[in-house]
Amino acid sequence: MSTVELALPARAELGEGACWDARSQTLFWVDILRGRVHQFTPATAACRTFTVGQPVGAAALREAGGLVLALRDGFATLDLDTGALTWIARVEDDRPTQRMNDGRCDAAGRFWAGTMAFDPSPGTGTLYRLDPGGGVTPVLADLTISNGLDWSPDGRTLYFVDSGTQRVDLFDFDPLAGTLSNRREFVRVPDAAGMPDGLVVDADGFVWVALWGGGALHRYATDGALARVVMLPVSHPTSCAFGGPELTDLYVTSASVELTPAALARQPYAGGLFRLRPGVAGRAVHRFAG
């Protein structure tokens, strides 16, 4: 059984979007509603914070250095030396009730991230693809909470969560064109187990899913069978990412938002960053090529 440890008592409101940078041996993650991007260094337990001025749903590494962000109003880059934001494309900035949520880059260096309403309202979200040249394409519409996504090791299958459906879905993925087809259900999470949130695919092709309200991670085999359950000391885990020198550490972000005072008293580390060593390895993340 994996031991879950508190890596950082971050007290995030809505932690999300964990992403490991092998070059700097640091973990990037965001606190969405506070508009903060964090860079955590495990070797020293130091955490550097960038405040970006609006809700930020996800951060991904850039091949040229720095980060690309999925912000409330669209896509921008973040310079880690100066903290400066540079806008790439505005997306839904005329809809103040919307914000960006989780995202990730594919092997061709395209950044995928989706939107949702702050409420959240069914059918208001869209998954977008940001190409290296700066073009933005809406890929999936009528979503409720566009959430975790990752690709199979061969890059030909996309796993995707629309949290409002209680499902993780599969798509056939064309790596050259960056297009999706043949949507079907991978797993349906029972309501009692929590709501599927962020996910990551490990080196064996198994899918790890954070369960909002369920206080757990589920690991699913490629046929959708539940292979493992890891219980966590907080009820609202949000995302997971492999890190460490050998990619054998699994980091988990969490949230404190929506918890009652009584629940917060029972979960003093809600909003913290957690780490476990599950005995399997992850894969290096892809970087934005723009």
Active site amino acids? 197
Query: Quick check: 183 and 159 in contact, CB under 8 A?
Result: no
Residue of 16, 8, 3 whose CA lies nearest to 240: 16
Query: Quick check: 115 and 125 in contact, CB under 8 A?
Result: yes
Residue of 237, 192, 271, 279 whose CA lies nearest to 31: 271
Token look-up 């700097």 returns 24
H or E segment to which residue 262 belongs:
helix 261-266
- Backbone angles phi and psi of 261, in degrees to 5: -55, -35
Q: Which residues of 167-184 are buried (b: 16+ CB within 10 A; e: fewer)?
A: bbbbbebeeeebebeeee
**Beta pairing, strands 195-201 & 207-212:** antiparallel
**Beta pairing, strands 167-174 & 249-254:** unpaired
Q: Name the DSSP class of 156.
A: -
Report how far residue 187's alpha carbon sits from residue 79's, in angstroms, rounded to the nearest whole number. 38
Report how far residue 110's alpha carbon sits from residue 27's, in angstroms, rounded to the nearest whole number. 20
Strand order in the sheet with 273-276: 5-8, 273-276, 249-254, 237-243
Query: Quick check: 144 and 164 in contact, CB under 8 A?
Result: yes
